[in-house]
Amino acid sequence: MDHQGVVVMHVSMKSRLVAEFLGTLWLVLGGCGSAVLAAKS
């Protein structure tokens, strides 16, 4: 029972890190993309 709780918490933490990474990547790429488009026009 104790081990199962640890596994669930580990998966939750991993998915949280993945979500943080994807969110940061999206913001960075979106920011860079909008800057490039603004500079071109």
pLDDT value at 40 more than 70? yes
pLDDT value at 22 more than 90? yes
- pLDDT 10s digits, 27-39: 998 888 888 888 8
pLDDT value at 1 more than 60? no
**For 21-35, what is the HEC assignment?**
HHHHHHHHHHHHHHH
The reply to whether the predicted model has a pTM over 0.75 is no
Share the mean pLDDT of the chain. 82
Q: Tell me the C-alpha distance between 9 and 17, whole Å.
A: 12
Q: What is the mean pLDDT of residues 14-22?
A: 93
Amino acid letter for position 24: T
